[in-house]
Amino acid sequence: MRAILDVITIALNLYMWIVIASAIFSWLYAFNVVNPRNQVVSMIGNALFQMTEPVLRPIRNFLPSFGGLDVSPIVLYLIIILIQQIIYRYAYPLAPF
């Protein structure tokens, strides 16, 4: 059971880094720091978008509009931290060694 919980927490940590990379990439794209016509940049942006958008879209629909500010990655980050804390505090003590 502990191995399964370890895999879940590693996957959540990895997804947190993907959300951070997606947010940074969106800022770089918005301020024209990266060239969107470059095929590699386009593929990276598309991959990050496809990995994060299915989770971020319902959060964006739930949150009120803040103008041009998108706080959905922050909310998702906090949700992931909450899930990890629930696993650490409640599932790990019950898991057999």
CA 49 – CA 18 distance, rounded (Å): 10
Residue spans of the domains in the chain: they are 2-91
Question: Model's pTM, two decimal places?
Answer: 0.88
Please write the tens of the pLDDT for every residue from 16-53. 999 999 999 999 999 989 998 999 999 999 999 999 99
- pLDDT for 66: 86
Place of tokens 């696993």: 87
- pLDDT for 17: 97
